[in-house]
Amino acid sequence: MQLPRLAIVDLETTGADPSRDHITEIAILITEGEQLIERWSSLVNPEMPIPARIQELIGITDAMVASAPRFQDLAEQVLARLSDVVFVAHNARFDYNFLRAAFERAGMHWTSPVLCTVKFSRALDPEFPRHGLDALIERHGYSIESRHRALDDAQIVWRFLGDALKRADDARLQKAWGKAFSSASNNVPRLPRGDLEALPDSPGAWVFRSATGQLLDIGWARDLRSQVLGFFTATRPSAKNKKLAAAVHDVDTWPCAGELGAQLKELQLLRNLREQAGTRAFGWRWLRHSLTPPVLHLEDLAGSDPATWQDVFGCLRGEREASVALQELAKQHKLCASRLGLEHGGGPCQAVYLGRCAGVCVGREAPEAHDARLAMALAALRMKPWPFAGKILIRESHEASGRNETHVFDQWCLLGSAQDEAALAQLLEDPPSRCFDADIYRLLNRWLAAPAHAPQNLPVAG
């Protein structure tokens, strides 16, 4: 396979957000075929402080860049080197977006066809799970003097490409090139504000906003990095997602220790940011000792303490849903709509004339017999009893990020979440009142029903 003229680029930056962070070092290798014809690099004054954690990671300090040229001072010569070439970088989206933003700040327009060597490696060697630069260095036994310095990193990319040409046949190389190459620069998405490149692969929740601050979407993900970045970089997005991605200007994210915490965070965001009330929950209370109809009373369960419920059946999403559910039970079990309170005014119910009521309302059936069938019918609406003796702890942790979180539940109610043992001890010592939430009830039911969430992860609190 004959390579075209390439510009292999590596950048060091003050952070991961091209709209906010700036370049601190740039390296460009120009190649023709299998020959390296130019090697160039320069420190860049970012005109902003370099965060301490970045200085420690890359070894470039504020003092080192203080007298370096600004990007706008280098822009003309950088642009000249990037003309009539294929732009090559390891995770090209990151470097391309940073350069595009830097050129725009300098009042210049730049575009180029792109080859991402992460995608190239993934397509060439799909049997390996990792394709970051550190993985390539380890897998191929490369030595590098200064990892996270632009020129050394760019030279590793060039060495990887050269070695690939020697070890793979043309058909394999062409296939990998096709998957990693984009001739249209607009296929390199302009990512919205937010440190998307630095997102962890942990579960978490996210919020998309427009340029005017309008809330566009809220969601949660098992893998925050893959889900959010994938939304903006999908090869074949749906028309709806494409339109939404184009409107997103800012992304806020909340990494969590586990999937349950991410779903709980999404619920909180939905309610706080969209001012969306929780799902209403209604249940039928059976007034067993009532001598006169109705023997059922519809109650709003939201915010109440499930421990105080007696003879309450159902967790239904509204008064209409509760009424429809009871009407269906009445039809199936020949129950009296008047006695249940579905019809008002006293006297015989309409169903008795159609043979759909056994006749308690006209004296053909004893109330005791009717209510025995009512008990059988209401069993279908019975909520699951709380399966534990008291409070439970659900512990979640994410090894790579070091995040830990413990969620405390009692009687299907969330009492709170704690990130450390001290906060957990305080929560257990002084818990808030139980407050029923239908969304959390359904979420916790699904969580506890999943076989993967083993009992040892749900210790009963004393």
32: helix, strand or coil? strand
Which pLDDT score is estimated for 75?
97
Rg of the chain's alpha carbons, rounded to an integer?
Answer: 32
Largest CA distance in the chain: 103
The owner of tokens 């979440």 is 417
Q: Which of 95, 96, 116, 104 minimizes the C-alpha distance to 13?
A: 95
273, 252 Cβ separation under 8 angstroms: no
Domains of the chain (ranges; CATH) run 6-187 (3.30.420.10), 196-273 (3.40.1440.10), 282-381 (no CATH), 392-457 (no CATH)
* pLDDT tens, position by position, 300-334: 999 999 999 989 999 998 899 999 999 999 999 99
Looking at this protein, which amino acid is placed at residue 71? F
- What is the overall mean pLDDT for the chain? 90
* pLDDT tens, position by position, 99-139: 999 999 999 999 999 999 999 999 999 998 889 899 999 99
The pTM of this model reads 0.68
Identify the bridge partners of residue 221 per DSSP, sorted by sequence position.
204
Q: Please give the average per-residue pLDDT across 228-257, as a whole number.
A: 84
Q: Please give the average per-residue pLDDT across 59-86, as a whole number.
A: 96
360: helix, strand or coil? helix
